[in-house]
Structures are given as C-alpha cells and as structure tokens.
Amino acid sequence: MGTKAMDDAADRLVESLKVQIKKEIIDNYFADRVYLEEDTALLRQEAEAYRKEYELLGRRFLALYQALGSEAGCRLLMEALNLKDWPFYEQYCALTNGQRQELLQSCRPRGFTAYRRFRNRILDLYDLLHRDSLSLRESYAKIQTHLTLLNEDIDKFNLSYDFGLIAAQIEALEGRGQVISGGLLSPEREELSTRMRGKRQKLSDAECPPPPDLPPLNQIKERLLDIIDRICPGR
C-alpha cells in the first residue's frame, strides 16, 4: 500500500472515530435525559399518591373534631398537641350537620355508659390518627429523599452535558470548526445551553404538605383524659 493510500485510510479512520464519538455524546445525552424525565414523572406520581393519603388523614381529623363536639374541645386538643394551625378545621367547618354525622359511622362507640363511649371514641380516633400520621411521615420522608437524589442527578447531568464543554469537545474534533452549520450567536448559544439543561425539581407544600408530628397515644393519654373530663356532656 502506497503512502497516499495509507494516509487516506488513516483519514477515513479518524473521520469514523469522530462520528462515533459525536454519536456517543449525543446518545448518552438523550439516554440520561430520558432517565431524568422518567424519574421526575415517578416523583410526581409518588407526590400525587401521597396527597391522596394526606386527604385520608384529613378524614381522621374531621372525625376527631366531630367526636370532640365543640370548638372549645378542639381548641384544648390543639393546645395539647401544640398545633397553632388546626389541620383541616376549615374543611370541617364547611361541612353540613349531616356530613358531620357521617364522619363517625365507621367508629362504633365502646362502653356501657355515655362517658365511657365518649371517652373511648376519642381515644380510639386519636390512636388511628396518630398511626396514619406516622405512616404518612414515613412516606413524606421517602419523597423528600427521592427529591434530593433526583436534584443531585440533575446537577451531575448539567455538569456532564454543559453545552459549552460539549461544543468545545466537538470543535476540537473538527479542528475548531463550527459545531452547528452557520454558527450560533452568543444569545442563541445561551438559549440552547439553557434548553439542554435539566431543571431542578421542587415540591411545594401544596403539592406535598408535611404531615403534623403527633405524639403516640401513650404519651398524651393523660392530657386527652383531662380534656375528655372537661368537655364530656353531663360531667
């Protein structure tokens, strides 16, 4: 093989390598971007499922408000729980009397006297409320962890696929030629760079409301019994 033929073969090899390298950069970019988009969609699905669980927790609060029977009783409970904002109370106030009565249908009273039935219903409802709140806090923590890890991946993606760096790499391969035919003005390059970047994700309190931190029944039972004694009808 002559020198010219060898040079031509070497040139073809170099060109082939250039094409492969550029293809690999592009393929990796879109594969990683698809991964981020899928993970973002999964996070949104988790947040939506969590929101439905949070609304079920609201039903527990509504039932407990109804069992307490008065705004004064609700106030005493919120003071005992150290909750300045009464969760779901505005929603409770908007219910009709019929809707309020339905809240207690699934919680059958236990006891032979009116006091024992009143007492046991409130204790049972609070225990269920705490259990649901604890489960919800675990779900909330998992979502926040997922959000943190996703944003870390997005930051790494943006570092790995910075348009300026990619352009410099390809320009080096092309012998400082233009990456895109016709070239790009500075504003156009900036716009393209922005479009290529992954967007960090956020979850507002409206999208993923933090659940209240409630003490277990055994820690607050004495306070609840004191409240019950103060508000129980006929006591």
Does residue 173 fall inside a structural domain?
no
For residue range 155-204, list pLDDT tens digits in order: 999 888 876 666 666 666 666 555 444 444 455 556 666 677 889 999 99
Q: Would 186 be classed as within a structural domain?
A: no
Question: What pLDDT shows up at residue 27?
Answer: 77
**In this structure, is residue 60 part of a structural domain?**
yes
Query: Whole-angstrom Cα distance, residue 175 to residue 177?
Result: 5
Domain housing 156: 27-161+197-231
Alpha-carbon distance of 128 to 130, in angstroms, equals 5
- Which amino acid is it at 12? R
Q: Does residue 18 belong to any structural domain of this protein?
A: no
Q: 124-148 in b/e burial notation, b at 16+ Cβ within 10 A?
A: bbbebbbebbeebeebbeebeebbe
pLDDT at 78: 96
Mean pLDDT by 10 residues, the chain (235 residues): 53 59 76 94 97 95 96 96 94 95 87 91 96 96 97 92 68 57 52 76 94 95 95 73
The answer to whether position 36 is within a domain reads yes
Residue 181, pLDDT score: 46
Give the chain's domain count: 1
Please report whether residue 178 resides in a domain: no
**Is residue 144 assigned to a domain?**
yes
Please give the model's pTM, rounded to 2 decimal places: 0.79
Report the chain's terminal Cα–Cα distance, integer Å: 110
CB atoms within 10 A of CB 210: 12
Q: Give me the helices (H) in the chain, please.
A: 3-68, 71-81, 89-93, 97-102, 114-160, 163-173, 186-196, 217-231
Give pLDDT, residue 184.
Answer: 46
Q: How far apart are CA 21 and CA 211, in angstroms?
A: 49
> Considering the domain boundaries, does residue 101 fall inside one?
yes
Residue type for position 31: A
Question: According to the model, what pLDDT value does residue 21 have?
Answer: 64
Give 213-231 pLDDT, tens digit per residue.
999 999 999 999 999 999 9
* Alpha carbons within 13 A on the beta-carbon side of 201: 25
